[in-house]
Amino acid sequence: MAPSFPDKQRWVAVLESVVAGSRGSREKTEADAKLLGNSLLKLEGDDRLDINCTLPLTDQIVLVGSEEGLYALNVIKNSLTHIPGLDSVFQIQILKDLDKLLMITGEDRALCLVDIKRVKQSLAQSHLPAQLDLTPYIFEAVKGCHLFSSGKIENGMCICAAMPNKITILRYNDTLNKFCIRKEIETSEPCSCIHFTGYSIIIGTNKFYEMEMKQYVLEEFLDKNDVTLASAVFAASSHSFPISIIQVSSSPQKVEYLLCFHEFGVFVDAYGRRSRTDDIKWSRLPLSFAYREPYLFVTYFNSLDVIEVQSHSALGPHSYAHLDIPNPRYLGPAISSGAVYLASSYQNKLRVICCKGNLAQDGWGADSQRNGSTRRKKSAFFICAKE
């Protein structure tokens, strides 16, 4: 038994790499050919980038954040253009109301704002010797940031930024035309996920907490009185911490979340009460989660699960498909609905892939969920070259 979850992850990584290395050369060649033929972008050797995130800017251009800076990927031409003015880019979101990009950038992982107009102007001048400077606005008080999210609370734009031992809440001040810090709260564990509800913020640290935005009071989100949630309420005691919170239903009559822990996922309502009888069990130790309705993408060390999440009213189990992909990394939502962008690295090669959940249906395997067990069908690659 591994002493901790990170140790367990390292052991799994080693074992999976050994298993992958033992495959026959023919199988490896065929898998490589499938992946190579369905890549949006292929980078090798000195041209390779260490890509952290992507975000669609238009129906043709996807912003790419990497350790080497900010780039723009044209998904029609499969071309990559550097946008000068930023160092490492770790996360990107669009603030539509302000027409700005919110990012984590640089060695000090600072939160910053960039005008979308300047990004587009820089791209338009990419053929010129000198491009327009992006001139980002740096939040000097928000550095060492590893995660953020943004949303509207009572019609006011808010940002929740996570540092290793605290979260910082910022609100947009219309009079000053800038974001101002409203609250800083210490956390016992680094924040792993953030979700805006419209009236509160739900975060995952050692547990899931909900913060109401009038007095900024933090309370446990899960209902302790629901005995069926005991495994989730006390998950931290077995080193199974929150990884992600996903809103799977936005109906005003039935808001529903999937709370993802290291070992399982549980469905709850807006009050933290169980909403479905069965949990979802992961096939391996998960690294990240992404949801593009109705598909849940779960990345592991050398593979990917795609789960079609049934609506609350639907009968029958969730459907699964499993793919072997070398070192997958979730980058962001794709331009197409129900799809995500992934990076896959092998040896000295990196590929950016568009993965569409709705093309997996021929390979679905039903999840029996009997006695907590699951049954999945291995699927061929359901990856699209172009959108």
Read out DSSP for 316-370?
SPPEEEEEE-SSEEEEEE-SSTTEEEEEEEETTEEEEEEEEGGG-GGG-EE---G
- Per-residue pLDDT averaged across 291-305, rounded? 94
60: DSSP letter: S
Which residue has better confidence, 195 or 40? 195
pLDDT of residue 11: 52
**Mean pLDDT along residues 58-74:** 96
**pTM of the prediction?**
0.85
In angstroms, the CA 223 to CA 229 distance is 8
User: What are the phi and psi torsion angles at 272 (to 5°)?
Assistant: 80, 20
How far apart CA 62 and CA 352 sit, in angstroms, is: 11
Average pLDDT over residues 342-358: 90
Cα separation, 39 vs 35, in Å, equals: 6
DSSP string, 131-160: PPP--PEE-TT--S--EEEEEEETTEEEEE
**pLDDT at residue 260, rounded to an integer:** 96
For residue 343, give every residue at least 6 positions away whose Cβ sits within 8 Å of its Cβ, in sequence order, or none.
51, 328, 329, 331, 350, 351, 352, 353
pLDDT digits (tens, 9 = 90+) for 135-170: 899 999 999 999 999 999 988 999 999 999 999 999
| Mean local confidence (pLDDT), 309-338 | 85
- Is pLDDT larger for residue 346 or for residue 291? 291
Write the burial class of residue 82 (CB in 10 Å: 0-12 exposed, 13-18 middle, 19+ buried): middle
Q: How far apart are CA 81 and CA 157, in angstroms?
A: 31
pLDDT attached to residue 314: 61
Q: Is the pLDDT of residue 372 over 50?
A: no
Per-residue pLDDT band for 37 (boundaries 50, 70, 90) equals very low
CA atoms within a 13 Å half-sphere pointing along the CA-CB vector of 91: 16
Among 189-193, 340-344, 382-386, which stretch is predicted with the lowest mean pLDDT?
A: 382-386
Question: What mean pLDDT comes out for the span 262-276?
Answer: 93
